[in-house]
Copies of this chain bind each other. A is one copy, B any other.
């Protein structure tokens, strides 16, 4: 579903997101499994880090590990809301958000990471239940992004299956480079 080759660009440790058309049943099952695993993978990625390590940028000029962790539920909450909007309205126009500014807000930059790990676990638990309840018609439903246009739930699931692994790899690659 998504390329596994590691990349020279530290911003894209698992490569950029690719998507080509509606998911097969296997593709949907794989996306759900990855969304189900994401909170545990992120929790494992930060296990045992101290505050100084959490406040280290994952790359020069990039977010700190702490900001990466808080960004994941910020982003996935927005995505979960969009999925629910798509299921309850006809191609609703959704509201984007400025992820760079969000990451500067107090609770994204200073809060202990545990709170966002727990938030992600609970959010993904509901999300997985919801995705598993979809039939063919459900997966085809769409929301509309003001810039990129209509997005099907197939595409949204594939994107967020990638997104959790993308940010987790930011942290695991940093730990490998640092020998943490």
Give the B-binding residues of A (Cβ under 8 A): 32-33, 36-37, 39-41, 43-44, 47-48, 70, 74, 77-78, 80-81, 84-85, 87-89, 92-95, 97-98, 101-102, 105-107, 110-112, 114-116, 118-119, 121-123, 125-130, 132-133
Complex: A105 Cα to B127 Cα, angstroms: 11
- Chain B residues with Cβ below 8 Å from A105 are 84, 87-88, 130, 133
**In the complex, what distance in Å separates the CA atom of A42 from the CA atom of B63?**
28
Chain B residues whose C-beta falls within 8 Å of the C-beta of A78 in the assembled complex: 81
Contact sample, A vs B, 13 pairs, CB 8 Å cutoff: A33-B47, A33-B48, A40-B41, A78-B81, A81-B97, A85-B95, A87-B105, A88-B98, A89-B101, A95-B95, A106-B129, A107-B127, A107-B130
Q: Look across to chain B and name the residue whose beta carbon is closest to the beta carbon of A143.
A: B95
Question: Across the two chains, which residue of chain B brings its CB closest to A98?
Answer: B88
Which chain B residues border A107 with CB–CB below 8 Å?
Answer: 126-127, 129-130, 133
Q: Of B32, B77, B133, which contacts A106 at CB under 8 A?
A: B133
When the two chains form their complex, are residues B39 and A43 in contact, meaning their CB atoms are under 8 A apart? yes
A44-B44, A95-B94 known; A122 vs B125 contact (CB < 8 Å): no
Q: Is the CB–CB distance between A118 and B116 below 8 Å? A: no
